[in-house]
Amino acid sequence: MEYRDKLVLAPMVRVGTLPFRLLAAEYGADITYGEEIIDHKLVKCERKVNEYIGCTDFVEKGTDLVVFRTCPLEKSQVVFQIGTSDAVRALTAAQLVCKDVAAIDINMGCPKSFSISGGMGAALLSKPELIHDILTTLKRNLDIPITCKIRLLKSSQDTVELARRIEKTGVSALAVHGRRVADRPRDPAKWSEIANVVSSLSIPVIANGDVFEYDDFKRIKVATGASSVMVARGALWNASIFSPEGKLHWEEVKREYVRKSILWDNDVKSTKHTLKEMIMHYSSLELPEGKGVIKSENLADIAKLYGEEKYYKLVNANRSFVNGSTENSLSCQSNSLLT
């Protein structure tokens, strides 16, 4: 995977599922990160080819819980992000998915309690030796690119020193979120401190922070000198931010997300979470649409709410037909439904 001059979808909890990744890619994202998945959870999974949907699932053993879903359409661009605090466990988890993804990323920037309480995410920023152990172990044992994503440390010099240590592990790229752990989303991203990292490294740096319009991709690249640019909230609110022709109306983008969620049988809780995030940015959950999403219990309810009942029935009828046919593949049928 090449990390220069790329537009990148950031990893987002409960959002970076297959439908949203494919949506972003359709609008122009070159690289799409999945949401962080904890190594403890992944090592309890088994890989299953889901011929009914046309995808590959990593399912928690003994349950029907799909922890990660991918498909051949995104094989060349999807990055699997692992939350870990142990090199051996990280490798075990990565080995399960490495043949189905384009790269493995280690999350070293998440400030959420579920991540840092286990010594993962941003908790790793203060443990350079452990960072080195994890990254070198993955690099030594895997044949796909290894990357990581960090936040700024207390001082710019500290960030640069850590970035240099990371570079020495042989990673293919480093993503830098221009905020510190204590910063909130409303605090401006510090592009100048990302620039300090860029000027100190020879590997590609992916700049992240305060990208909300297509023009911001160029602005942050000029300001930081970064090789590529990553966007989170700007893409969540309107995934067509990746389109050089300009953003589509959010209602159109939202409807396409609903269709992809139906097509790929996305978890309804994830679908509802993403829709609510979109609605809250442009409207209110107190209006009929928001209340309808909250009350929805399954994808059929979502389809009805957004006037996609015909599409929902078509997708499921098509699956039933393909499932009983030896001459067709669901992935081909799914591709035709996407267009």
Tokens of 200: 């100190």
Residue 281 among known ligand-binding residues = no
* Helical segments of the chain, H only: 18-27, 39-42, 87-97, 113-116, 128-141, 156-167, 191-200, 214-224, 233-237, 250-263, 268-282, 288-295, 299-305, 309-323, 330-338
Residue 233 among known ligand-binding residues = yes
Residue 12 among known ligand-binding residues = yes
List % helix, strand, coil for the chain (3-state, nearest 5).
50, 20, 35
Integer Rg of the chain from CA: 20
Tell me which residues are annotated as active site. Answer: 110
Sign of CA dihedral 102, 105, 110, 116: positive
Residue 81 among known ligand-binding residues = yes
Residue 232 among known ligand-binding residues = yes
User: What stretch of H or E contains 45?
Assistant: strand 45-50
How far apart CA 308 and CA 292 sit, in angstroms, is: 14
Is 302:276 a contact under the CB 8 Å cutoff? no
Orientation angle between helical segments 191-200 and 214-224, nearest 10 degrees: 50
How far apart CA 308 and CA 301 sit, in angstroms, is: 10
Residue 1 among known ligand-binding residues = no
Residue 13 among known ligand-binding residues = yes
Going by the annotation, the residues of the binding site for FMN are 11-13, 81, 149, 177, 232-233
Going by the annotation, the residues of the binding site are 11-13, 81, 149, 177, 232-233
